Amino acid sequence: MMSNIKYLDLYYAAYGSNMNLEEMKKRCPDAKHEGTGTIEGYELLFCGEAGRAYLNVRPNSAKKVNVCLFKISENDLKSLDEYEEYPKLYGRSKCDVFMDDGSIKQAFFYEMDTKYDVMRPTESYYKRCEQGYIDNDIDTLYLKQALEKSTK
């Protein structure tokens, strides 16, 4: 049986709450989980405003960010854009994802507008992100470091 779902050429690299597989399935029901990897030259930070801080990545040549890669449909992209408040809160950037299986895939990710400062997230948002790391069997070290930076 052929599917009518049209998938995009690029993959989506999730690094925050969209790594949480249960949430991602609700948000983007057509998404296909392609595995995990890293994007290089970025660091993970919580940014935003008081009471509204989310995971973000900022350029840092000495760092890397763990991601979960999804192949998505056009409907999924619309849903993600709405969830990420694109283009108001987050923009889209392209990257190479160095997959854990040794391959390299081109993808896009959401990058928060630079006007937002490092800020502490709510406990519930942090827990949703942490579950995504657990879902994908990724060490939570970088997530914990991002939280530590948000308290300073």
Interatomic CA distance for residues 15 and 152, integer angstroms: 22
Interatomic CA distance for residues 123 and 2, integer angstroms: 43
Interatomic CA distance for residues 43 and 58, integer angstroms: 6
Is residue 85 flagged as an active site residue? no
CA separation, residue 36 to residues 87, 106, 115 (Å)? 26, 13, 29
Question: What are the structure tokens assigned to 98, written together?
Answer: 């160095």
**Among the options 23, 34, 43, 84, which is catalytic?**
84
**Residues catalogued as catalytic:** 84
